[in-house]
Each structure stands twice: as C-alpha cells, then as structure tokens.
Amino acid sequence: MKSSAPRKAQPSGAAPKKPAGRASSSPGRPSILVLFQDLIASFTAPGFWLYGARIDTSIRYRSQALGALWMVIGTLAFVLLLGTLYSQVLRVNSELYFAHIAAGYVLWRFVQQSLAQSTTVYKKNLAMIQNGYVRYPDYVLREVASQLINFGYNLLIVVGAVLLTPVQVTIVDLVLLLTLPLFLLSVLGGCLLLSVVGARYPDFGELVRTLLQLFFFLTPIIWMPTGSGKGDILGAFLYANPFYYLIEIVRGPLVYGHIPWFEIGVVMAAVPLMWLLAALAYARAKPYIPLWI
C-alpha cells in the first residue's frame, strides 16, 4: 500500500536537484579532446582516407601513358634545370648543391601542397558532409595521405641526388628517425588547423597560397645559407621563417651530415602549441562546419 505522507515542499526559487550519479556537462560545446578522439577513430578505421588517397592518385594518372611517373618527372626536371641554372647564377661551387636543392624542393612541395589543399578540404567534400559523414579528420588525412604518396615517389629523386653527390652516410643519419616523424607531425597539425580556418573564411585559401609562394623564395631551397649567410639581415629573415626549421631538421642530417639541434628544439617546442591551437579551433568549430561550407 502506497504511503500517503505529504512531500516536502521545495523552497521558491531554488534550483531543482540533479539526479545522483549523473555528471554535469555543458551541451553544445565539444571538449578540447574531441580532435584527438576523432583522430583515434580515424586511425582505428583508416579505410575511407587510406583507400581514398590511393584511388585519388590512381584516377589522376589513370589515362596517362606514363601514369604516376609524372609525379617524378616534374620534380626531376625542376631539380636538373634549376639546379644547373642557379648553380651558375648564384656561383655555387659546392658539390652538394644538387642534393641540397633536391631534398629542399621535395620537402617543400609536400609542405606546400598539404597546407594549401587543406584550406579547402571540407568545401571539396561538401556532398559527403551533407550526407552525414562528419568524421572531419578523415578528409584531412585523405588529403595528406595523397600528398604522402607523391612525396614517396619524389623521394627517389632525393636518393638519386644523394648517391650521385659526395654525401657521406654516417651515424648522424639515424636522427632522421626523430626528425622525419616530427616533420610529418608538424605538417599534419598545420593542416588540421588550416582546414578549420579555411572552412570559416572562404578567402583564407587564397591568402595561404600567396604566402606560400612568397616563402618559397625566403626559404633556402634554391639558395644556400653558407658561411655568413645566417648573419645580419639575412639571418633575421631566415630564423623568422617557420619553414626553414621544417626543411632543415630533415635536410641537415641527410645532406650535410650534422644535427641541427637548435632547429629541432624549435620544432619540438612549436608542435605542441600548434596541436593545441588545432584542438581548440576544431572543438569550437566542429558543430558549425556544415553551416560554414
């Protein structure tokens, strides 16, 4: 038989009590960890972005007689022609110049294409996002994986340049086991950040492409900062250039056989900051990305 005891009246204006054991959360505001949660889900089930990157590359070169070799031919022509020309214009007598320009250009091309394409990656996949596929890191990973395939082909040119020039392979090259993943982690973090900003501001992609064209000439790719090249006004531009550090942490051990401790330290300090900014931007923008694009 039910008890007929009267309920205790709640004071006027008092907030209702929450059920015990239920955690409070702020609705509509994703956690800063949502980027890493989505990335873990993407790496756990890589079928979409990994297979998609392979299909994108195959379709791009399917109807051409030389196929994927065109990825290598363009880079090889750049290295041979500009390497021969600028070695005379800049009066560079170093026997390592072709390895210098080959490594620098291949690394730069990967950085440039990845960052530029990431600014419009959500816009290009508008139909899939509207159809409900909203694991956004998949789209960025697909674009970066496509550029990684291109990067892998072009590494053949770097290997050839290293073998044909007097580059000494020493134990210093083992530092590439640290610097190459650090390089890739930096590019991926930058792509995740720029993808969110590019979704919010449609003109941002054009700004990024313009800046990348400018930084190509400010970064020591076709020129060599040898001797006093890192001093005075040139050194100020060099050390203020974030792309210099990305290129140098890989090219320094590979081509010149030295460990660029300062550059590695700068990149290691910048990567957590970049990923923090990417996580903050992604957490704030995730609910609005379909509306922005």
What is the per-residue pLDDT across 63-115, written as a single tens digit (0 to 9) for each? 665 666 778 888 899 898 888 888 888 777 677 889 999 999 999 999 999 99
Extract the tokens encoding 252.
């320094």
225-241 pLDDT, tens digit per residue, is 764 445 455 667 788 89
Is residue 282 within 8 A of residue 192, CB to CB? The reply is: yes
Residue 3 pLDDT: 46
Is the pLDDT assigned to residue 168 strictly greater than 90?
no
Percentage of the chain with pLDDT > 70? Answer: 84
Cα gap 17→24, rounded to integer Å: 12
Question: Rg of the chain over CA atoms, in angstroms?
Answer: 25
Helical axes 97-118 vs 137-164, angle rounded to 10°: 170
Cα 144 to Cα 14, 64, 251: the distances in Å are: 54, 23, 21
Give the sign of the dihedral formed by CA 40, CA 175, CA 252, CA 95: negative
Is residue 79 within 8 A of residue 154, CB to CB? The reply is: no
Cα 256 to Cα 96, 162, 193, 253, 260: the distances in Å are: 8, 10, 32, 6, 10
Cα gap 33→38, rounded to integer Å: 9
Is residue 75 within 8 A of residue 98, CB to CB? The reply is: no
* Top-confidence range, 10-19, 129-138, 180-189: 180-189
Of 119, 150, 118, nearest in space to 53 by CA: 150
Of 209, 187, 191, nearest in space to 199 by CA: 191
Q: DSSP alpha helices (H): ranges in the chain?
A: 34-44, 47-61, 69-89, 97-118, 121-124, 126-130, 137-164, 176-200, 204-218, 232-239, 242-251, 261-285, 289-292
Residue 228 pLDDT: 44
Q: Which of the four pLDDT bands, split at 50, 70 and 90, describes residue 145?
A: very high
Tell me if residue 191 falls in helix, strand or coil: helix
Residue 34 pLDDT: 93
